[in-house]
Amino acid sequence: MDDKQLEELLKLISLGQAAFARALEIINNHKAQSGKTTDEILTEAKEKTEQALEVINNL
Amino acid sequence: MTFIRHNISIILLAIMLMLLTACPSTDKTRAIARAEDDVAQGLSSTANLLKDAEAAGSLAKEDVAFLKPILTEVGKGNLQAIELVKSFKDISNPSLDEQTKLLQIISTISTNLTSLNNEGALRIKDNKKKVLFNTIVVSMQSSATSIVVILNLKGGK
């Protein structure tokens, strides 16, 4: 395997790592939502969005 | 390798759809609420990533200023979508008019996410942060797209 291929492989691995980390985050989020009503999930989503907008506003 | 890289969004969309449609008792609105919550979480992760990237010097202040309004629009769009879903007359069976309104909001969110992905990829200098940024934005895109798929699913409530 030459240097270019190694670099390509490293990029792919980090992409895979990031994708898996994100997928894990989403799965855990869905797990945390079980047992909650649709309205509770929506309220939580609204709160998270508002908090994120506050962080964005302070960037 | 190229195949996987080019199809990472499809892989994430597949994961998202599996999560959102796997349970037979899951009604459409609940699945949409979950997708909106995923977008909210992605928004928060993106904001924190940009904050870290700026602090680490891999993103200039003017680049953050460029990305900020796009990200804000995504957030505002998600709030609109949440409010709309909350206002559905029959929460388990949204009318055609309500679904159309939701699709319009999702379309705007999706356009802004595409723009955010392209512009962010051009501006973030650190490769690892760039990959992470792309992944989060693509997963938000997948969540938004999954709402369209959920609305078109037959059966369920």
Over residues B12-36, the pLDDT tens digits come to: 666 666 666 555 445 778 888 889 9
Residue B106 contacts residue B78 (beta carbons within 8 Å): no
Chain A nearest-CA residue for B37 = A45
CB contacts of A35 in chain B (<8 Å) are none
Could you say which DSSP state residue B23 is in?
A: S
pLDDT of chain A along its 59 residues, tens only? 788 888 878 877 777 777 777 777 777 877 787 788 888 999 999 999 999 999 999 98
pLDDT in tens, B111-136: 999 999 999 988 988 888 888 888 88
**From residue A23, how far is each of B47, B51, B78, B131 by CA, in Å?**
18, 22, 20, 14
Gyration radius from chain A CA atoms: 18
Gyration radius from chain B CA atoms: 16
CB contact under 8 Å between B43 and A16, yes or no, is no
Burial class (CB in 10 A: 0-12, 13-18, 19+), B144: buried
ipTM of the shown complex:
0.80
Is some CB atom of chain B closer than 8 A to the CB atom of A10? no
Is some CB atom of chain A closer than 8 A to the CB atom of B72? yes
- Furthest C-alpha separation in chain A: 54
